[in-house]
Amino acid sequence: MKFRPKIVPGSFCTMALALMASLVVFSPQAAFSQQKYAVVPTGTIFPGETITRERVTEVLVTNPNLAPGYADNTSIVVGKVSKRTLVAGRTITVADLRDPFAVQRGAAIRITYSMGGMNLSASGTAIEDAMAGEVVRVRNRDTGVTISGTAMENGTVEVFEK
C-alpha cells in the first residue's frame, strides 16, 4: 500500500528558492554571454585582395549547425589575403585566407648572406611569390645566377649554405 507524501509547510519555500536560483543561473544575460559570432564580408572580396576592417563585420551566429572553422573575430581576418571569392553575408573560413606575400614575383629585392661576422648583400629579382619563412628562388641581377633563399618579413631574401 502506498501513501501520499505529506505536504510540509516549509517545502513550498524550498521549491520557491530553488526556482529563483534557477532563474538567476539561467538568466538571459548568462545565455547571451555564450553566444557565438562569425565574421562575414560586407561586400564581395575577390581572390588576392587584402581584407581590411571596413570590408568585414561580426554577426551573431543563429544556426547551431554551422560548420566549424569559421573566423569568429575580425582581428583574425584583417590583414590577410583571400584565396577565393568571399561572398557578402557568408561566413569566412580560416582556410580561405593566407598571409600576404613578403616577396612578390618580379619585384626588386635585396639578397643577403651571413657567415660568421661577414655579411654580403646583392640586388636581385624574385622569380616567384613567397610568404615570410618560405623558400624562394631569386635571380642575382649582376651575375644572372638563380639561387634559393628564405623570404624574410622585411622583403629581403636570406641565402642559406649548401
Boundaries of every domain in the chain: 37-98, 107-160
Residue 132, SS3? coil
Alpha carbon of residue 75 to chain centroid: 7
Q: Which of 57, 55, 62 is nearest to 39 (CA)?
A: 57
As a whole number of angstroms, the distance between CA 67 and CA 95 comes to 13
Pairing of strands 108-115, 157-159: parallel
Give the pLDDT confidence of 62-95 residue by residue, as tens digits: 988 888 899 999 999 999 999 999 999 999 999 9
Q: Which of 109, 60, 70 is nearest to 91 (CA)?
A: 70
Query: What single-letter DSSP state applies at residue 150?
Result: E
Q: What are the C-alpha distances in Å from 73 to residues 40, 47, 53?
A: 10, 20, 11
One of 3.90.1210.10, 3.20.20.105, 3.40.50.720, 3.40.50.150 is the CATH number of 37-98, namely 3.90.1210.10
Is a pLDDT exceeding 60 seen at residue 21?
Answer: no
Q: pLDDT at position 6, please?
A: 60
Looking at residue 62, its amino acid is T
Q: Average pLDDT for residues 14-21, to the nearest whole number?
A: 56
Q: Average pLDDT for residues 106-121, to the nearest whole number?
A: 92
Query: Across the chain, what does the average pLDDT equal?
Result: 85
Residues 6+ apart with CB under 8 A from 111: 121, 122, 123, 124, 138, 140, 147, 149, 156, 157, 159
Give the domain 107-160 fold. SH3 type barrels. (2.30.30)
